[in-house]
A and B are shown apart, each in its own frame.
Chain A
C-alpha cells in the first residue's frame, strides 16, 4: 500500500488566493482526519470523517475553511480566501475504525502551505 497520499507537498500562494489540499486515504480505511501543525499551536484537529460523513468540524478555524469527502478514496481541504496566518503544515490521516474501537492513525507526508 502506498500509504496516505497528499498533494501538493508544498504550496506558496498570495493572500486572498484559493488553496485546495488533497488527500487519498489508505484503501479500506473508513475514517479520515485533517490536522494542522504550527509551532505555536502544535497539531490541531480540524475535521474528521467517518464513512465519508463529517462527524466533527469544531476545529475548523472559520468559514474560510471547508472540507469535503465525496467518496471513500478522496478528500479535499479548501481555504478561500487564504491569509498569511493559514501558513502551516496540513496533515491528512486515515484509520480503520471498527465500531467503538480506537483509531490508530496513519499520516500522510503533509502539505506545507505558505501564504505571502
Chain B
C-alpha cells in the first residue's frame, strides 16, 4: 500500500547544531506537506510543496521536494530549544490530488540547551 517513510525516528542535538529529517514515499506524490507537533499538542501545518525540485524557506527552516516527487527533506539551521517537537511529512499520493494525506512516522527532535 501507499507508505511514507521518515528518518530518523529520533534526533538529539545540542542547541545551535543543525538538524535534518528525510521523507520517502513508495509512490509519486502530487504534493507533500510538513507539520510540527509539540509535546502534548496537535500537529500544526508548516508548509506545502507542490512542484518538482521545489525549495522553500521559513527563517531557519528549509524544505525541499525531490525532482521525482517521491522524497522530501526538512533542514533546520542552528536549532533552538523552541524547535523541540515531532516533525511529520504528509503526502498526497497519485497523479492527481485525492485529498488523502498519509503521514510519515515523524522525527522527534530533542534540543539540549
Contacts and interface: CB of A to CB of B under 8 A. Distances in A.
Interface string A91-110: 10100010011111111111
B99 A50 contact: yes
26 contacts: A31-B99, A33-B101, A42-B104, A42-B105, A43-B43, A43-B88, A43-B106, A45-B101, A45-B102, A45-B103, A48-B99, A97-B99, A102-B50, A102-B92, A102-B97, A103-B92, A103-B97, A103-B99, A103-B101, A104-B33, A104-B45, A105-B101, A107-B43, A108-B42, A109-B41, A109-B42
B9 to A, nearest CB: 10
Contacts of B43: 43, 91, 93, 105, 107
B96 A100 contact: yes
Interface of A: 31, 33, 35, 42-43, 45, 48, 50, 55-56, 91, 93, 97, 100-110
B33 to A, nearest CB: 7
Contact of A42 (B30, B45, B96, B103): B103
A106 B45 CA distance: 7
B33 A102 contact: yes
Nearest to B32: A102
Taking chain A's interface residues, is the majority helix, strand, or loop, or is none over half, making it mixed?
Answer: strand
B31 interface: yes
B48 interface: yes
Nearest to A103: B99
B77 to A, nearest CB: 25
Contacts of A33: 101
B44 interface: yes
A50 B100 CA distance: 11
Q: Which 6 A-B pairs have the closest CB atoms?
A: A43-B103, A107-B42, A42-B105, A102-B31, A100-B97, A107-B43
Contacts of A101: 97
